[in-house]
Chain A
Amino acid sequence: MSLLWLRVAVVLYGIAALAVLPAALYDRPRWRHIAVPAALAGVFFHFVSIVETLVAAHRALPVDTHETLSWLGLLLVVAFLLLAARAHTVSFGIFLLPVAALLAIVPAFHPGHETLSYPQLRTGWLLLHIALLLAAYAALFISLIASLLYLIQERRLKQKLSAPASRLPPLETLDQIALKSLLFGLPCMTAGLLIGSVVALQTMGPSFFADPKVLLSLAMWIVYMLMIFIRRHRGLRGRRAVYWSGFVFLGVLAVWAANSLSAVHRFKTP
């Protein structure tokens, strides 16, 4: 049954992703009334699906890559809804909703069968580690999108074009969203990495810190910090902000990909 709800959520995300295009790009605000409720309903079914899965399996943690990505998808749609409510913009949905649908579509139609390498890690702390890092990834992704939208809006204003992108948020709003997302993501990432490190230290000892995944994570955290510092003190905006956000995002993808290189931090197929 949980798979059925997840499939319903994927369909609803798909509808929302399509409806958001005319609302955000073609100045047809009425489509917003389809995109937002569809996304909201999708979040509801997605959440129900996750809860059912966890309850049925008597656990509180995602046990495979697909399931974890599906959680990230849920967070992205929640972020879209928050932005629609607080910043009165659905423009972020152009990117967030299709990505969320893609992240949820794989576990909906092809559930994974991996497990944690160390079943003894199944603690509340690990749940917090995963949730915080997913929140940090989502925040970074939103910051990247805000920077991209900034670039698009800036180009349109400089080229003196009107019409289609007129529903994009103002530059200052986009800049604020980008910065606030980063500021939200930093404590999440810091706490997530700290918790993960402490749990790993207790379970596996100091050898864990020589793992490529862990080293890449630390490097990513330093770049993340550096980006916030530059943004705040040098007023990083526009093209350079996109380059920085893109660079850090690539770092995140590298860290994620490093799961396959890691001897300890990975799911394994039974």
Chain B
Amino acid sequence: MSTNSNPNLLLLGVNHTTAPVEVRERLAIPSDRLADATRTLAHQPGIREALILSTCNRVELLTVHESNGAHATSAPDGSATPGTEMLRFLQDYLDVRVTDIQPHVYEFRERDAIRHLFRVASSLDSMVIGEPQILGQVKQSWSVAREVGAIKSTEACSSTLDPLLQRAFSVAKRVRTETQIGSTTVSIASVASELARKIFGSLAGKTVLIVGAGKMSDLTARHLIQQGATTLLVSNRTEAGAEAIADSLRTPAITTGVIPFEQLHEQSFRADIIITGTGSANHVFLPEQARALLQRRRNRPVFFIDIAVPRDVDPAVNSVEGCFVYDIDDLQQVAAQNQSARSREAEAAESIVTKEVARYTDRLAQAPATESIKQLLHDAETLRLQEVARITQQLSGQPLSPEQLAAIDRLTKSLTAKLLHPQIAALRETGSSSESKD
């Protein structure tokens, strides 16, 4: 690719595939320091525009370097390249040694950098392919970079990063719309929540009962509350433990309550979703108890999420009409199915990204020719208008009718277009051939 078509675009970074968490956490830039870091990076010598993307799985610096001067490209005389300059920025700003991070760093230039950015924004480079947060994080970085003036357009020089980022957002949107990459969930808690929605539709106003304590139960309950569940009941062998769980999950929008463990079977009919995670060696819920529970609920369905090992809910409960039992293996199996479905969709998404990169780079390659063509047309039109004005003045003794003036206008326009056609075609050809050579 020509350096003229998209001068000195460079992306440098680490992610979950190239760097262990020990390295990533040293490079991570907290959100309250992002603006300062972006501003500092943009003020480094030779950098025209800059953006920093820092998430738990990646830290990336995207920069546009001045197309002329000492900082433009790699220096044959051994002086610093833009890549090493950016590593030095990380060293100075984050107090890390370049030698510690260099083995983990990847570097993409020009077309490869565009491709990488499109893949990142489309969540194809994420740890969980298709997760939706990354696009918001890229948008946040873009917004910060604009606020601190690290992405800028001037009269003399238009921004390179601004249209590139906007294109990345529309590519990500296209990927989401045209593929099913984000339509399934892949974490245990979100799978449980999705299954609950398949049973109950909206979870608004639903009651969740946690039986026993555990991190996974807690996480799943939080997910269900986020989805709209409004009442949380807790039952534990020790009442103090139940109170502690209820307190940790209590928010102003949630009603919480504790059910004494000995009353569990009498009270569990109040819950639409029951998350069980006790350490009991025997089943806590048996089919006959499930039938009694359903009878009291007038056959309204109940969803058991059994995260305990050994299981708390007898598998036979699943055969009771109106009871749906998912144990940890079932949830993991659904998550794995969803993950493989996402991987299939990722292939289609990659194809969209490849096409979009080609389109974008073609447009960039055509940009200088387009500018020249615009200038040529503008000059020709100015000249034509001057000539029409001159001839009209010369004939001022014999005023022309509106029809005659229109005919002169048409004639001059037609002549200009015919005379310019070969030159415009040649300019377009030049733009295309320089791109294909690259």
Contacts and interface: CB of A to CB of B under 8 A. Distances in A.
Contact of A160 (B197, B322, B334, B338): B334
Interface in A201-236: 234-236
Given A157-B195, A238-B322, A171 B200 contact: yes
A158 interface: yes
Interface stretch (B54-62, B207-215, B297-305): B297-305
A157 B199 contact: yes
B298 A235 contact: yes
A170 B201 contact: yes
Interface residues of B, number: 26
A91 interface: no
Contacts of A158: 318-319, 324
Contacts of A153: 198
B95 interface: no
Contacts of A238: 299, 321-322
A239 B299 CA distance: 12
Contacts of B326: 160
A100 B299 CA distance: 33
Contacts of A166: 198
Given A27-B183, A163-B337, A239-B321, A170 B299 contact: no
A73 B403 CA distance: 62
Contacts of B105: none
A120 interface: no
B334 A172 contact: no
A236 B198 CA distance: 19
A41 B434 CA distance: 51
A174 B301 CA distance: 13
8 contacts: A158-B318, A170-B197, A171-B201, A171-B301, A173-B201, A234-B298, A234-B299, A235-B300
A15 to B, nearest CB: 22
Interface string B174-216: 0000001001100000000001011111000000000000000
Contacts of B334: 160, 162
Contacts of B300: 235
B272 to A, nearest CB: 9
B318 A237 contact: no
B200 A172 contact: yes
A162 to B, nearest CB: 5
A166 B195 CA distance: 10
A173 B200 CA distance: 7
Contacts of B297: 235
Interface string A16-31: 0000000000010000
B150 to A, nearest CB: 39
